[in-house]
Amino acid sequence: MDPCCDDVCDVVFVGNPGVGKSTLLSAVSGRHFESGLSWVNGLTKKLCFQRSPALPGVRFGDTPGLADVSLAEMAAQAINEAFSDAARHGRNVKLIFVITTESGRLRPEDLFTIKQVMQSIELPGGSRPGPNSYGLLINKCNWLEAPIADEGKQLINATFQVPKQSVPFVTGYTQYVPFIPEAAGADQLVHFPGLIEWVFSFPGITISRATLIDTRGLEEKMKQMRQQAARDEEALVARLQRKHEQELGELKAQMDSTVADMERKLREAQNRGFWKSLGKLVLSVASIALFRVPLPP
């Protein structure tokens, strides 16, 4: 679905420092969200809403990264402000998490941020967000052309589709964004084909209330998340392997049955040939006996 100028919603980008939230949001909105290199703290320090003239009903919201001890409180407040404001005005929220990978692997701090943020959301009737309540942009993927990229994507997709302690909120709305070399360290508008359409194809949620994320003991909570994520990944890989083996087993059984079927058909054909040959022989013998016809070669 293309964005339409009647759309009324908030597109809110959330994620850890430096993952590329502001860069991608600029690309989606056509407005400038300050981005670039930042070594000490994250670059975006507070909630920033901007509207695009082409889509007057849409507010694009940029937030600071959460999993940075020095920024966490500010980030928690900015995220809470974005959700509370949307709730107050009854605006639909397209919540998009931006994450990155490390050598193709998910980073526990990104899972931590997603879990914390999603746990802070309450929907109408007091319910918690269900499956597909958020979109996920996996940014700066410099491994998409690798021969085993599909395996990596399969594991990442499964991580977000199978509920587990480290990922209790699941989604199928995942999009891989390639690494753009010219975007490095720059604060410029980069074009990411298909990104706007993807963001607006996501239905979004109606938030009724948001609680402030508790950022106390962040380092300890992150340590626990690292351990939990490692355990969950191990279990998921084993599960995928079992599924793979089961699929291989099913394929083998299917092939065995096809081979057995072919062998049966071959035997039947041979038998048919035998009886046909026998019939021919009897006919030939009878012909010789009756009419003295010479035997066929």
Ligand X SMILES: Nc1nc2c(ncn2[C@@H]2O[C@H](COP(=O)(O)OP(=O)(O)OP(=O)(O)O)[C@@H](O)[C@H]2O)c(=O)[nH]1
Nearer to Mg ion, 33 or 160 (CB): 33
Vertex 235, ends 230 and 237: CA angle to 5°?
95
d(CA 179, CA 93): 27
Range in contact with Mg ion (rule: CB under 5 A) among 41-49, 198-206, 210-218, 282-290: 41-49
Nearer to ligand X, 71 or 87 (CB): 71
Q: Is 22 in the site for Mg ion (CB under 5 A)?
A: yes
Of 122-141, binders to ligand X (CB under 6 A) are 139-140
Of 198-227, binders to ligand X (CB under 6 A) are none
Q: Is 94 helix (H, G, I), strand (E, B) or coil?
A: strand
162 φ/ψ angles, rounded to the nearest 5 degrees: -105, 115
Q: Is 181 in the site for ligand X (CB under 6 A)?
A: yes
State how far the alpha carbon of 70 is from the alpha carbons of 17, 77, 110, 124, 212, in Å: 11, 13, 17, 33, 17
Which residue in the set 16, 26, 29, 44 belongs to the binding site for Mg ion (CB under 5 A)? 44
Nearer to Mg ion, 18 or 135 (CB): 18
- Contact at 8 Å (CB) between 172 and 132? yes
- Contact at 8 Å (CB) between 173 and 130? no
Mutual angle of helices 149-161 and 218-291, in 10-degree steps = 120
Of 210-269, binders to Mg ion (CB under 5 A) are none
User: Tokens 């980030």 correspond to what residue?
Assistant: 75
Q: Which does 80 bind (CB under 5 to 8 A by kind): ligand X, Mg ion, none?
A: none
Q: Is 29 in the site for Mg ion (CB under 5 A)?
A: no
Range in contact with Mg ion (rule: CB under 5 A) among 15-23, 106-114, 153-161, 232-240: 15-23
Residues at the contact surface with Mg ion, assessed by CB under 5 A: 21-22, 43-44
Residues at the contact surface with ligand X, assessed by CB under 6 A: 15, 17-23, 35-38, 42-44, 64-65, 139-140, 179-181, 183-186
